[in-house]
Structure 1
Amino acid sequence: MTLISRVLGLVRDVVIATFVGAGVNADVYLFANRIPNFLRRLFAEGAFAQAFVPVLSEVKEKHGDDAVRELVAKVSGTLGVIVLGLTAFAIVASPIIVMVFGTGWFIDWWQGGEDAAKFDMASALLKITFPYLFFITFVALSGAVLNVYNKFAVAAFTPVFLNISIIACAILFKDTFSDTAYALAIGVFVGGLVQFFFQWPFLAKAGLLVRPKWGWNDEHVKRIRLLMLPAILGVSVHQLNALVDTVIASFLMTGSISWLYYADRLIEFPLGLFGIGIATVILPSLSKLHSTNNPAKFQETMDWALKMVLLMAFPALAGLIVLGPLIIKILYTHGEFTATDGQQVYFALMGYASGLVSYMTVKVLAPGYFARQDTKTPVRLGIIAMLSNIVFNFMLAPFYGFVGLAIATAMSATLNAGMLYWGLHQQGVYKLSKATMSWIARLVAATIFMVAALEYIKRSGWFATESFWQESVMLFSLIGVAVVVYFVSLILFGTRKRHFRQGA
């Protein structure tokens, strides 16, 4: 289900690149979508789930389904009121939000510069896209509830409707507005609404569809509140860094926000499919193991999760760098998106890709804290990583522009991953075993063989590339070769089926 969602996400990005390219309209739309999308990450895949799932799992194990329904009612009512107020404020005060997060555009608007129109357009688009936050909050809530009951498919499939809505609105309304960016923004709104209603029947079938009620002072709601606020920094450093990048990019040349976005979307494909996917599955299990006081199984589960994400992280990193130009050309270089834009996206992609292993590792290590309801440690480490990213930004952006922002994000993620692991090691919760170190060595060696094979084939001229379809065949052929070489190499290095099962 996650794979279907991610593939359609790439199709959506192809449509965006084709219709708005990487110019002014693209920068503004992506900015207006970035803020509610950033908050979606906090609620759907980040802080909310990391705080809510452990408490809900504990309530389920100790008090049963009736207590679960009562907690869901109070959380949905309390969170719904807060997010509704935030959404209403954002719609009214959208110029203020753009002023804060698009400071470069605001200054240009204030001084009557050439980018003044960006500020006005961003303010208008934000009024359309921000209600998405209200809808997705309840989508995240219902998805977390279903996950606790080991029903993962519905929540994983739900994002498909957002992608379909954006694609459909872009195609249907591209000639309705003077700027296609408005059609894309309407697609975001419609997508949120469809996702909102999609999960209701599944909740009803599971007996978990309840009437929301206010519960600010409820004992369990208080615990979720206390866990959630620190978790925003503890698990969402990558998203926070991306938001900081957007603010700084508003001072850079037109196209910087778009180039960073398209590069980040290619990183998000393996990250979402494997990193976030595995992290979503292990959190309820880790929470249950902690509640039943089973540290040995806790360690085994984390070890399995880390091995699985690294199994995909190393070849994904290498594949994006080696095949990046061809991937970008096939996916994005159409319509309004130029070859120059593609080259700029590749530069940003190399910067982001250098931190892909770290992004995935963070997604697995952070649940090791939140499953034990420890928010103090990851929030402290998250603050350090975020401040480091800002420092790295100001060190690198003056020399490397938007590429420096991507490199800074990768550097801060690597720092964050290292600190998270060291913290778990110091607490005696998780440490790398000799078997896992051997596993990592085999993965690195297999990745090197894979890269060597790809480079040999690329330079041999075996594939003629004169058209879009020929290039597509070449890309999928190279991916096929990469998969075969990678896994055959793993087998030659001693990897067997039992290594995938250990800890599962």
Structure 2
Amino acid sequence: MAGLFRSTATIGSMTLISRILGFVRDMVLARVFGAGMATDAFFVAFKLPNFFRRMFGEGAFATAFVPIFTEYREHRSEHELRGLLAAVSGVLATVVAGVTLLGVLGAPYLVWVLAPGFGDQPEKLALTADLLRITFPYLFFISLVALAGGVLNTFSRFAAPAFTPVLLNVAMIVAAAVAAPYFAQPITALAWGVLAGGVLQFLFQWPFLRRIGMALWPRFRPGHAGVRRIVRLMGPSMLSVSVAQISILIDTILASLLAGGSVSYLYYADRLVQFPLGLFGIALGTAILPTLSRLVSNGRSQEYATTLDQALRTILTIGIPATAGLVLLGYPIIATLFQYGEFGAHATVRTYQALAAYAAGLVGFIGVKVLAPAYYAQQDTRTPVRVAVWALTANILLNLALIGPLAHAGLALATSLASFLNAGLLLRVLMARGLFRPEPGWALHLGKVTLSVAVMALTAWLVTPPQEVWDRASAWMRALNLFLVVGITGLTYLVAAWLLNVDGVRRVPRLLAVRLFDGGRGGR
């Protein structure tokens, strides 16, 4: 578990840099473009290549590729390992290039499907199609980036892949803050920034691949035995990831039918939820897949179950206070980060409504990120598909039930509720198959975390200024107040959890110290 923690900490620290720059990026976007027609068009145009990225990139592809690549590394020769990588990269590049070309040529039709609410606004529809033609080639480069990241993660080189998204944020910040005024339609600069970010990410990872002797030299060999195995695993995995992404696309379609700005409110709220999800949930999920794959490959089933148990406990330790923090401090966070220029108080209120709804599902979101790799490590990609279909069906029904009374916030809440169903079913099947049994102490652990969060919530209520203070305060005063409030609230939780001996909290400083001293001696 210490090794998994160190891997998660490495990924999390790099992700922290990326997420901070992501907030800077979104602050620039909010200040320069606000929440209106242009941003709605861009977020739709950016969402579609992201959808396919999840299918061909770090989502479905990684879940199928990493277990097979790990198996080859553990039990085959280096020549066979290089051959597998060459064949996989060749097939992946060819397929994604074809999809990219179709996406560029069919951009107007894709927009009609993705955002039918734009149909009665010809200018908005045309702008979205133009932006999509620019952003879609991002898919080609980010798919190769995902392949490179999977290789590096298998070799326990977690830092470079986790740092790579920083380059996308930098490219988009430069595009919005520097290049936008030079374009007839300023938002177009942002689309070019996305494409530039994809190229930079690929170029950044190349030297790290060469350092471990795994540079990508593609060969189109679809008949390679390893490629066929990956494709067989990837088929159901693509369906699984597609179900999750289809849920997001449905939210976008429905949001396009609501009042202007609704797509943007959901985007900004999702970005804030992605901070703890990426910093911890995705980091843990990324680290645990190669770890569990190695344990399965070597027949160490008890260690597999213990590792999963500890990971799930840690989800509660981090996820519950993160949920409470986003709900209690969401308005101050949004006001501090975004409420400037074109982004007014009305947009802050609407974004907070979506944020509170998304935050309610944070533990479920993180749970899926950890539980799904437990199946992928077993080379079972079919079960997550079946579970995801049930979750998607529930999400659609909840969307239809909640969009009326809650508008865009109802879409966010439906997604959150469906995430708990997804995680719960994944956990239930693992237990039914005997692959996981909760170790003793779960009820006590949950009680300790809940009590610590209650103390934290009371502290947040006492020290947080009222809403009107945040609306009137200057940018620097907002930032200072937010720093103090978040710092005091977070420290309160940590102290309470320390005193209650919440599982894992007291172990963190010791593991960090070991990591630090190992690093000082050169490590291993």
TM-score using structure 1 length:
0.95
The match for 1:97 among 110, 124, 127 is 110
Q: C-alpha separation between the residues in 2 aligned to 1:434 and 1:340?
A: 48
* 1:7-27 per-position Cα deviation (integer Å, ceiling 9, x unaligned): 111111111111111100010
Q: C-alpha separation between the residues in 2 aligned to 1:66 and 1:449?
A: 57
Q: C-alpha separation between the residues in 2 aligned to 1:90 and 1:435?
A: 51
Q: C-alpha separation between the residues in 2 aligned to 1:161 and 1:300?
A: 36
Task: Find the counterpart in structure 1 of residue 191 from structure 2.
Answer: 185
The match for 2:264 among 247, 254, 258 is 258
- Displacement of 1:499 in angstroms is 6.7
Task: Find the counterpart in structure 2 of residue 436 from structure 1.
Answer: 442
Q: C-alpha separation between the residues in 2 aligned to 1:298 and 1:437?
A: 22
The match for 1:412 among 415, 418, 440 is 418
Query: Quick check: 1:352–1:407 contact (8 Å CA) kept in 2?
Result: yes
Task: Find the counterpart in structure 2 of residue 111 from structure 1.
Answer: none
Task: Find the counterpart in structure 2 of residue 480 from structure 1.
Answer: 487
Question: Cα distance 1:172–1:494, how it changes in 2: closer, same or farther (>3 A)?
Answer: closer
* 1:442-468 per-position Cα deviation (integer Å, ceiling 9, x unaligned): 11211111011110122699x997322
Query: Quick check: 1:235–1:362 contact (8 Å CA) kept in 2?
Result: no
* 1:33-66 per-position Cα deviation (integer Å, ceiling 9, x unaligned): 1111222234444211111100100111110322
- Displacement of 1:325 in angstroms is 0.7
Q: 1:306 and 2:312 equivalent?
A: yes
* 1:248-291 per-position Cα deviation (integer Å, ceiling 9, x unaligned): 11111111100000000000010011000011011001001001
Q: C-alpha separation between the residues in 2 aligned to 1:46 and 1:224?
A: 13
* 1:149-189 per-position Cα deviation (integer Å, ceiling 9, x unaligned): 00000100111100000001112222112332101101001
Task: Find the counterpart in structure 2 of residue 2 from structure 1.
Answer: 15
The match for 1:493 among 493, 500, 504 is 500
Give the aligned residue type for 2:171: S
Task: Find the counterpart in structure 1 of residue 461 from structure 2.
Answer: 455
Q: C-alpha separation between the residues in 1 aligned to 2:397 and 2:147?
A: 35
Task: Find the counterpart in structure 2 of residue 318 from structure 1.
Answer: 324
Q: C-alpha separation between the residues in 1 aligned to 2:34 and 2:466?
A: 33
Query: Quick check: 2:91–2:219 contact (8 Å CA) kept in 1?
Result: yes
Number of residues paired by the alignment? 494
The match for 2:75 among 62, 74, 89 is 62
Q: C-alpha separation between the residues in 1 aligned to 2:221 and 2:49?
A: 25
TM-score using structure 2 length:
0.91
Query: Quick check: 2:339–2:348 contact (8 Å CA) kept in 1?
Result: yes
- Displacement of 1:67 in angstroms is 1.6
Query: Quick check: 1:325–1:346 contact (8 Å CA) kept in 2?
Result: yes
SS where residue 218 of structure 2 aligns? Answer: coil
Query: Quick check: 2:58–2:147 contact (8 Å CA) kept in 1?
Result: no
Query: Quick check: 2:180–2:189 contact (8 Å CA) kept in 1?
Result: yes
Question: Cα distance 1:496–1:34, how it changes in 2: closer, same or farther (>3 A)?
Answer: closer
RMSD: 1.8
Greater shift in the superposed pair: 135-144 or 40-49: 40-49
Q: C-alpha separation between the residues in 2 aligned to 1:133 and 1:77?
A: 15
The match for 1:340 among 336, 346, 349 is 346
Mapping of residues 153-192 of structure 1, within 5 Å: 153-192=159-198
Query: Quick check: 2:137–2:195 contact (8 Å CA) kept in 1?
Result: yes
Q: 1:327 and 2:298 equivalent?
A: no
Query: Quick check: 1:238–1:409 contact (8 Å CA) kept in 2?
Result: no
Task: Find the counterpart in structure 2 of residue 384 from structure 1.
Answer: 390
Structure 2: 5+ residue runs without aligned partners?
A: 1-13, 512-524
Task: Find the counterpart in structure 2 of residue 33 from structure 1.
Answer: 46
Q: C-alpha separation between the residues in 2 aligned to 1:287 and 1:437?
A: 29
Give the aligned residue type for 1:196: F
Q: 1:71 and 2:78 equivalent?
A: no
Q: C-alpha separation between the residues in 1 aligned to 2:506 and 2:476?
A: 39
Question: Cα distance 1:180–1:155, how it changes in 2: closer, same or farther (>3 A)?
Answer: same
